[in-house]
Homo-oligomer: A and B are copies of this chain.
């Protein structure tokens, strides 16, 4: 009888599906919770997620699919959460099973709107999960390219390097390279902040700024991200590593990024509300902007880009004017 700890993924979206695909290359039994009964049944019958990343072929015989979160939490040791941060709390509220002793890995890019915490902090503060049992899985990685089996690099961060290695070994494969890190706070904040910069990139694009300016914006964004993260958690890190700069670039330069698209609509003149309505979902960077802005009121890093996005999204300021002023603060 194998005593190897068992891994489950929680979430039914693109990124969850991509992680399932990676794990399926290495494991015969993977737990997978998603709330949609329909999706579970569809995957069992048709070997594809009906709603997200539907081009990826799945292997139901390797999957222990469930639409009961408590069943999955009960039966698995490593829980990889890939639920959009906006829905995390309502999913966790369903829990009757304890999370004690579980190893929690967050593959969520964003902030939990109800608590204002990044996901690792949320589990630490709300569920008393010790930090050595909390990890982060971060890109740069569009799920769509995992479906196409295009080479991608992930960073797996955990204070306990053995746990990072455990997860890393099960994710890596023919088209996935992994790297270990002990910077869970920094990688998680980077993953969250990049969505704000992607909104900024979208706003600028919508306003008519070109590629020259875009590169200046990204160059300023990575410096701002460094200042911000250093204030939150000072440690030796190379901000130009893939988990920080790479993740910023893959999002900031992606025309498929929901955050960039959201920004683009605002730059083109949509109101914040109508842009949200048109997209029929909320871009994660929307919440991240508020949280980062509020947090920085205490921390005091110089963050002209976050400030600009905040004043457009939350203070009703005109994007054109705010960004004209922003351009004088960049270099």
Contacts and interface: CB of A to CB of B under 8 A. Distances in A.
Interface of A: 139-142, 145, 148, 150-153, 177, 179, 208-216, 218-220, 222-223, 226, 238-242, 245-247, 249-250, 253-254, 327-328, 330-331
A44 to B, nearest CB: 29
B253 A330 contact: no
Contact of A254 (B211, B226, B250, B330): B211
Given A140-B212, A220-B242, 17 more contacts: A150-B209, A150-B210, A150-B212, A151-B212, A152-B210, A152-B213, A152-B216, A215-B245, A215-B246, A215-B249, A219-B241, A219-B245, A219-B249, A223-B238, A240-B240, A241-B331, A242-B331
Copies of this chain = 2
Contacts of A213: 150-153
29 contacts: A140-B216, A140-B219, A142-B211, A145-B212, A148-B210, A150-B208, A150-B210, A150-B212, A150-B213, A151-B212, A151-B213, A152-B210, A153-B330, A153-B331, A177-B327, A211-B254, A212-B250, A214-B250, A215-B246, A215-B247, A215-B253, A218-B249, A219-B241, A219-B242, A219-B246, A223-B238, A223-B240, A240-B240, A242-B331
